[in-house]
Structure 1
Amino acid sequence: MARRNNKRQIFENIEVIDAGAKGKTVAKAPDGRVIFLPNAVPGDVVDVQTFKKRKAYFEGKAIKFHKLSEKRTDAKCEHFGVCGGCKWQDMDYRFQLEYKQKEVTNNLVRLGHLELPEVTPILGSTEQYFYRNKMEFSFSDSRWLTIEEVQSDEDLGDRNALGFHIPGMWDKILDINKCWLQADPSNAIRNEVKAFAVSNGLEFFNTRHQTGFLRTLMIRTATTGDLMVLIQFFKEDKEKRELLLNHLADTFPEISSLQYVINGKANDTIYDQDVICHKGNDHIFEEMEGLRFKINAKSFYQTNSAQAYELYKITRNFAELNGDELVYDLYTGTGTIAQFIAKQAKHVIGVEAVPDAIKAAKENAQLNRIENVDFFVGDMKTVFNTQFITEHGHPDVIITDPPRDGMHKDVVNQILNIAPKKIVYVSCNSATQARDLALMKADYQITKTQAVDMFPQTHHVENVVLLEKR
């Protein structure tokens, strides 16, 4: 049944039937159109109010629950439903894995029109909470208010916040009490920073007016026990800056890298900023199978260290190296995969567009005393050309781990021209992976595929595919 309400439709007693893209779930309107919902679980029976109408679908929100799904579980986080970071925290982890596997398979089959071998079940994460090794929090002098607070006549008191952006609202920050994504002392550090800043009158940032002192807080942890904390200030105030940083160093002596940035530009990205070490080292170390990876404030490293190890093992197993192969590692980043497989290969060539990443890759290779790897910087679609192959050799195996947008079509064409025996394609977006694989299916067949859950409580999933020459 459907009825109108202020030009927005309300559908009653609608069953939620599936999980879709971007963490939303799927229902169907009486006219057959799909409804995407941000706040329901497959199996729920709900009343839906739509707020967006398109030719083929609606976007809406469940406003009344008639029946709760058996796939539900209680969300652990007090901020669930507002924060937006863990959209599936109210879905039992078994079913999270089921829907992630389904998404990967559907993308490869329906979008890519690909023939798949027997699919290896998705590899779940041992830790479903406190698995992230990097978190970034934002300061705000005007925290997000609940409807009850907005309507209240009482004094709201402290309006400062240190937490996450409200989804879709660039200037609204939700104040976080406890986050379930990063292990202690992450929560303790964040809460202490806020309490000390408030008690000492340190100004929190105002995004709209570009005013204030405290801008962002980044915390990085490692399986080695190393701990990095970086505070970004909007302007320099030596007395206040040292007051906060010295308090952090005294309160948390386990911090091995305490750093800061002075950033007065319009956005808070630090990649074009000078990072200054206040105390300890300007880096931390991560470790994997005896390899040590030096990570600085700007370094990319997989945010789930334990699952990264599993992902790399799958990648290495798919490649089935015997020690005689020349391997190209495209989009190598800081060279973690290249170094992880180096013992099993004759030589590994890593290519990456970010100069700082290649610099880190070379430093880590030297640190690990790996001599059979070389790293090169450049835009993949231009540097990875015939001349490059002539100079560095024809690869037996190509490993590619591109960003979410997938590979440029020129890179795909070059891979097809090179025609290696095997391609191992690691992807964080199975939709763009499917698109790229469709361009290769005339020359290559998929012989193995394995999804890996790197991000429990979210819809994100990695997938590894092995292609072999027909």
Structure 2
Amino acid sequence: MGRKRQSLPIIENVTIESIAAEGMSLFHHNDKVVFVPFGVPGDVVDVQIVKKKHKYNEGRIINMIKKSAKRIVPFCEHFGICGGCKWQMLPYQEQLKAKQQQVHDQLTRIGKVELPDFMPILGSVKTKEYRNKLEFGCCDRRWFTHEELQDPTLDLDNGNHSAIGFHIPGAFDKIYPIHKCWLMEDLHNSIRNDIEAYAKSIGMTFYDVRQQKGLLRNLMFRNSNTGEWMLLIQFHYDEEGDEAKAMQLLQHVAEQYPQITSLMYTDNQKGNDSLADLELKTFKGNSFIYEAMEDLKFKVGPKSFYQTNTEQAYQLYKVVREFCFMPLNDQEACTEAPLLYDLYTGTGTIANFVARKAKHVIGIEYVEEAIEDAKVNSQINKIENTTFFAGDMKDILTDDFIQDHGRPDIIVTDPPRAGMHPDVVNVILNARPKRLVYVSCNPATQARDLQLLDAGFIVKAVQPVDMFPHTSHVENVVLLVRK
């Protein structure tokens, strides 16, 4: 006989104390911290413990006794289900306070270096429809909520439960249908819902990720502040007639939505939806769109990396530029234009944005396609003082590389969430630039790197920037100067 499953304990009448990392809230019980999603400080709730750990527990709210005075009504009908925008019940100013505190706590507790007063966080220019890129999965059997499963009219056996939407958190094969998403301009909702209806009307199959079959697989939308729209549809050709149906759908979209200036597609037979190694075809228009920033234009293709909040990216890059070039003393104000290294340069957005104030900018990035985009962006904007290199940062940025290309006066680094490799940190320390501007999407790993960089630099300024309203994610820019 199997062991009898123990019932999950319930803690009654507790008050949520504060916001925690990763979008959780917390309270203390029996000398342990309990983390709970979707809580607001001041909520009085009953909580069921779902995970017991050595130093903390995790729970979920099962009963709201009294709502916090800070709690607001979420504006999205899919809140709490799709996995995104987990802070919609929290006023935006409270979100900003929590993010500011998150940066402060992580840099202080993990970094353990001398820090100046932090600048107030820069809130996002837009708090709705702020993203310029969204992806939606297609599935032949959608995920149902507990409430939906209680509906007596629901027929799970009729085989007509295909849908387009977002993946449920922690489940690669479960997609919840989205009717209206507030993350991007509303046109994408009209297009997506129309595609779903039209695909079903012509008998198009939707993808089954476990069986790896089904024709309609994935949608990726991009739009830009120049008014352009891109749509890339991933198909999975299984049988004769699939390609004809795909062309029929593309023709329908092209006719119905002239706003789409770049309509593309691909036949993806892989086990995942990544684009890097796929051949992409253009059905209508161009294979790219343009983003504008000040007097610069940036060419963005379906495989390009570009900050997903266009308006706030501009605010972020202005901080980077100011940290690079603001004089810290009278002597600096008189020096000649600096040599600048831009590490993890991506498509060269920061490199090109700061180039006109530099003698020369050297950009390094792992993805070769991104480096080609960076070169094109320099050409488009008639910027001639940039040079770009593709390869693994720790392999390219060596002492010999600096010997060959010049010792940088300024280094800008914008690494992935994992932070910088220790070898890269050591090369930066050996290069001894006058200043280092560190842009991070993960203040925890940034704090770890600041501790390593403390051997040669002191932190001069800290500027948090909110790129993703209604989420717990926060960017942070730190200015370090050589000791």
**What is the TM-score normalised by the length of structure 1?**
0.97
Q: Amino acid of the residue matched to residue 367 of structure 1?
A: I
Looking at structure 2, the residues matched to 216 and 331 of structure 1 have their Cα atoms a distance apart, in angstroms, of 28
Alignment partner, residue 17 of structure 1 = 17
Looking at structure 2, the residues matched to 6 and 150 of structure 1 have their Cα atoms a distance apart, in angstroms, of 25
Tell me if 1:160 matches 2:156.
Answer: no
Alignment partner, residue 255 of structure 1 = 260
Q: Amino acid of the residue matched to residue 381 of structure 2?
A: N
Tell me if 1:337 matches 2:350.
Answer: yes
Q: Which moves more between the two structures, 429-438 or 266-275?
A: 266-275
Deviation at 1:200, TM superposition (A): 1.3
Of 283, 296, 300, which aligns to 1:295? Answer: 300
CA contact (8 A) 2:116 2:459 kept: yes
Looking at structure 2, the residues matched to 76 and 373 of structure 1 have their Cα atoms a distance apart, in angstroms, of 45
| Structure 1: runs of 5+ lacking an equivalent | none
CA contact (8 A) 1:226 1:285 kept: yes
Q: How many residues align?
A: 465
Tell me if 1:52 matches 2:65.
Answer: no
Of 192, 196, 203, which aligns to 2:194? Answer: 192
Of 373, 378, 382, which aligns to 2:391? Answer: 378
Tell me if 1:350 matches 2:349.
Answer: no
For residue 230 of structure 1, give the secondary structure of its aligned residue in structure 2.
Answer: strand
Alignment partner, residue 316 of structure 1 = 321
Alignment of 1:37-436 (within 5 A): 37-156=36-155, 158-235=160-237, 237-320=242-325, 324-436=337-449
For residue 272 of structure 2, give the secondary structure of its aligned residue in structure 1.
Answer: coil
Looking at structure 2, the residues matched to 451 and 112 of structure 1 have their Cα atoms a distance apart, in angstroms, of 16
Q: Describe the superposition over 1:84-116 as per-residue Cα deviations: whole angstroms up to 9, x where unpaired.
A: 111101100000000000000100001111222
Provide closer, same or farther for how the CA distance between residues 155 and 52 of structure 1 changes in structure 2, counting only shifts above 3 A: closer
Looking at structure 1, the residues matched to 90 and 154 of structure 2 have their Cα atoms a distance apart, in angstroms, of 37
Looking at structure 1, the residues matched to 118 and 195 of structure 2 have their Cα atoms a distance apart, in angstroms, of 47
Looking at structure 2, the residues matched to 177 and 151 of structure 1 have their Cα atoms a distance apart, in angstroms, of 21
Looking at structure 1, the residues matched to 266 and 24 of structure 2 have their Cα atoms a distance apart, in angstroms, of 36
| Structure 2: runs of 5+ lacking an equivalent | 327-332
CA contact (8 A) 1:326 1:345 kept: yes
Q: Which moves more between the two structures, 262-271 or 153-162?
A: 153-162
Deviation at 1:184, TM superposition (A): 2.3
Looking at structure 1, the residues matched to 186 and 53 of structure 2 have their Cα atoms a distance apart, in angstroms, of 44
For residue 8 of structure 1, give the secondary structure of its aligned residue in structure 2.
Answer: coil
CA contact (8 A) 2:340 2:362 kept: yes
CA contact (8 A) 1:261 1:270 kept: no
Alignment partner, residue 329 of structure 2 = none
Provide closer, same or farther for how the CA distance between residues 276 and 53 of structure 1 changes in structure 2, counting only shifts above 3 A: same
Deviation at 1:155, TM superposition (A): 4.3
Q: Amino acid of the residue matched to residue 19 of structure 1?
A: I
Looking at structure 1, the residues matched to 146 and 84 of structure 2 have their Cα atoms a distance apart, in angstroms, of 20
Q: Amino acid of the residue matched to residue 284 of structure 1?
A: I
For residue 27 of structure 2, give the secondary structure of its aligned residue in structure 1.
Answer: strand
Deviation at 1:66, TM superposition (A): 1.6
Looking at structure 2, the residues matched to 206 and 440 of structure 1 have their Cα atoms a distance apart, in angstroms, of 48
Deviation at 1:151, TM superposition (A): 3.6
Deviation at 1:43, TM superposition (A): 1.7
Looking at structure 2, the residues matched to 96 and 459 of structure 1 have their Cα atoms a distance apart, in angstroms, of 8
Deviation at 1:348, TM superposition (A): 0.5
CA contact (8 A) 1:326 1:396 kept: yes
Q: Describe the superposition over 1:164-209 as per-residue Cα deviations: whole angstroms up to 9, x where unpaired.
A: 0011111110000000100121111111111111111111111111
Q: Amino acid of the residue matched to residue 184 of structure 1?
A: D
Q: Amino acid of the residue matched to residue 391 of structure 2?
A: G
Looking at structure 1, the residues matched to 211 and 460 of structure 2 have their Cα atoms a distance apart, in angstroms, of 55
Looking at structure 2, the residues matched to 348 and 149 of structure 1 have their Cα atoms a distance apart, in angstroms, of 56
The two structures, once aligned, show a CA RMSD in angstroms of 1.3
Q: Amino acid of the residue matched to residue 117 of structure 1?
A: P
Deviation at 1:22, TM superposition (A): 1.4
**What is the TM-score normalised by the length of structure 2?**
0.94
Deviation at 1:7, TM superposition (A): 3.4
Q: Describe the superposition over 1:191-248 as per-residue Cα deviations: whole angstroms up to 9, x where unpaired.
A: 1111111111111111111111000001000000111001000117221011000000
Looking at structure 2, the residues matched to 55 and 9 of structure 1 have their Cα atoms a distance apart, in angstroms, of 16
CA contact (8 A) 1:73 1:90 kept: yes
Looking at structure 2, the residues matched to 169 and 303 of structure 1 have their Cα atoms a distance apart, in angstroms, of 24
Q: Amino acid of the residue matched to residue 132 of structure 2?
A: N
CA contact (8 A) 1:17 1:42 kept: yes
For residue 260 of structure 1, give the secondary structure of its aligned residue in structure 2.
Answer: strand
For residue 338 of structure 1, give the secondary structure of its aligned residue in structure 2.
Answer: helix
CA contact (8 A) 2:38 2:89 kept: no
For residue 318 of structure 2, give the secondary structure of its aligned residue in structure 1.
Answer: helix
Deviation at 1:378, TM superposition (A): 1.1
For residue 123 of structure 1, give the secondary structure of its aligned residue in structure 2.
Answer: coil
CA contact (8 A) 2:237 2:243 kept: no
Looking at structure 2, the residues matched to 85 and 63 of structure 1 have their Cα atoms a distance apart, in angstroms, of 20
Deviation at 1:10, TM superposition (A): 1.0
Q: Which moves more between the two structures, 230-239 or 398-407?
A: 230-239
Q: Which moves more between the two structures, 321-330 or 366-375?
A: 321-330
For residue 148 of structure 1, give the secondary structure of its aligned residue in structure 2.
Answer: helix
